[in-house]
Chains A and B, each alone.
Chain A
């Protein structure tokens, strides 16, 4: 229940990983979409205000299209993201993590009404909470999934160090620990890093910034740097 990762094996034998999005961000995203939709409708309404009865007819057609096809349009044409989903970093995908198709998007959005029953998306929220991957009924029928879109991370600049070989053969785990200390040099405060480095004092026989720079050097060597 707490593990929201979703794995799919592609034909190439690669495990794709994604994180399924829970009810709260989805409800918020939906609220944003409702806001935009009302805004669009209001704008169209003002534009058609002077067209009289005929304008009202066109407005009703627009209201119909927005009600049922606004999400479909964005999900298919904008890579699975309605404006609301975009603002919360969510996206809709097929459950094999491919981009959502027209038919799947239409199904999940037509069935929105059932998820709404009896009021305020009660059925949808119950279905999301009970299922493994937070799928509402529309998602289950369409075979779709709402996931977090991973943010692009800029490659980190590693601190400038002269690589040094480790004093002895380190186990894989220890190597990884050293490398991730190096990787996280910008996320952790300098003091905390020194504190962590001091934990290894019995082995490195160094303290504070000496210890830290030594560990960084070793980490850099492990990553493949040579002096």
Chain B
């Protein structure tokens, strides 16, 4: 390691004041602090020791929590492809196929996003912050299996610049960066991110007879329009091909959908990692799931069509709800920041998701809009929680 340290030391003068790459000092520091935790010591006054955890470690914890979803996504994309084309395949075939579809998206998301971040760091002379490690992974995981890479790049730039940097960078953003990227594509290039065709990557093959690429949410809506019970329609969908939307299949995630968000199980594995390490708020996660379930029950009670009558627990495993609740809603910067606020915020995300899904067929994937909407509402929730605290303080004063 001494050699690496020497290498950094030897190029250091170039980045110092007066050096030829002075402007890129922040990039130098960024890279050095990734290789080596810095030799900074505490100030003369105040806490003389600091907790061994830093933001880098917190962020990498979130990335690790997403790895199960990523790996499953890779496998599932291959799995869906071979179901659709009717070819026989092994796990290895599926994994290789999936990796070839996913890795370019992941690489583009990180490369373009980090380049954008670095540009801003250099322009503003900010330290390079680690927030994008998480956003980069999230952006890739919410993309469809095959999407033009230039669209990924454009969405990433939009999300980093408009979603984050205009507000002042990491820690200051109002909207979840990854959801901003997805929303951008949803409205700018709807053809590539919605409909029945984008969720299964066929490559140059043709789909077998009887195959339908619709997502579970699409099937549910379609069934409702026809007036057949949704649970039945889901169970028989693509059943002859082995790609049905049974509850178990949807829970495991063997269904078409965005790269990382089909598997409720993998989202739950991530949730366990995040909650056990204390990185994400369990209140938001529990609130999100229970909000969706309770709203599902309310819909059942009011049911005027088959979609509303769908068993409430189906909502929890369909679409990106689990992924969104675990990884998107818990983003500490754009979520509510007071403890009571986190409950309200989480519950409302679940409730809104189900309302959007069931009542507005134009937006089958409600979680994205619910998270973005609640991102905007989070400061308002916090405002009232903080106000309650101030009121308690004032009431005390009259005694």
A binds B: no
Chain B contacts to A: CB under 8 angstroms: none
Chain A contacts to B: CB under 8 angstroms: none
